[in-house]
């Protein structure tokens, strides 16, 4: 399996353990493999944080159906696949299901129609799942973290059709703000 990289070294330096499992979140079988790897390595799965996302920056009229579908598949369906893979394990001993979405789940952003649509979908999905988990009295917390612009490579790696490198809308926060929210939710 692949090396956990710098984050794994940092975690180990702090006394933690890490392993890595590469997966395409659009493939439910690969996402299930990630969950199973955690159980195999650590004996259980108690926290699942799902953060995979892609961004297309383009006017809606210049967005192809295939591009729009890809954003939905990664951003929304990837989160669905993650919950489907993790929830059966989390239900066994209790735990936290944490989805990272975006403020785009509550407010549309011009030139980001597919991205914001996917994030709105995550918000509806997680809200409904939270109600089902609560009604079933399952020992699982379900959280949706919706950060504003975070200083990550997302805009550097985004597909763009606007003729220039897209710039993240300010204010721009450091990733530790999201890390703190995720740790609190966990």
167 and 62 Cβ atoms separated by less than 8 Å: no
Instruction: Output the CA–CA distances (angstroms, integers) from residue 65 to 58, 71, 142, in the order listed.
Output: 13, 10, 31
Of the residues 42, 115, 173, 184, only one is catalytic, namely 115
Asked if 184 is an active-site residue, the reply is: no
Residues annotated as catalytic are 115
């Amino acid at each position: 399996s692949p090396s956990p990289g710098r984050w794994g070294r940092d975690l180990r330096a702090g006394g933690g353990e890490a392993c890595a499992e590469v997966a395409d979140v659009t493939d439910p079988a690969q996402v299930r493999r990630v969950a199973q790897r955690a159980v195999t390595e650590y004996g259980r799965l108690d926290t699942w944080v799902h953060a995979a996302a892609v961004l297309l920056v383009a006017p809606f009229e210049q967005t192809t159906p295939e591009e729009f579908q890809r954003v939905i598949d990664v951003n929304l369906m990837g989160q669905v696949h993650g919950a489907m893979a993790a929830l059966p394990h989390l239900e066994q001993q209790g735990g936290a299901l944490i989805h990272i979405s975006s403020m785009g789940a509550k407010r549309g952003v011009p030139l980001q129609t597919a991205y914001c649509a996917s994030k709105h979908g995550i918000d509806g999905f997680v809200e409904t799942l939270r109600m089902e988990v609560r009604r079933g009295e399952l020992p699982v917390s379900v959280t949706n973290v919706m950060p504003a612009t975070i200083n990550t490579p997302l805009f550097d790696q985004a597909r763009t059709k606007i003729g220039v490198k897209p710039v993240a809308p300010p204010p721009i926060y450091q990733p530790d703000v999201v890390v703190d929210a995720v740790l609190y939710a966990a």
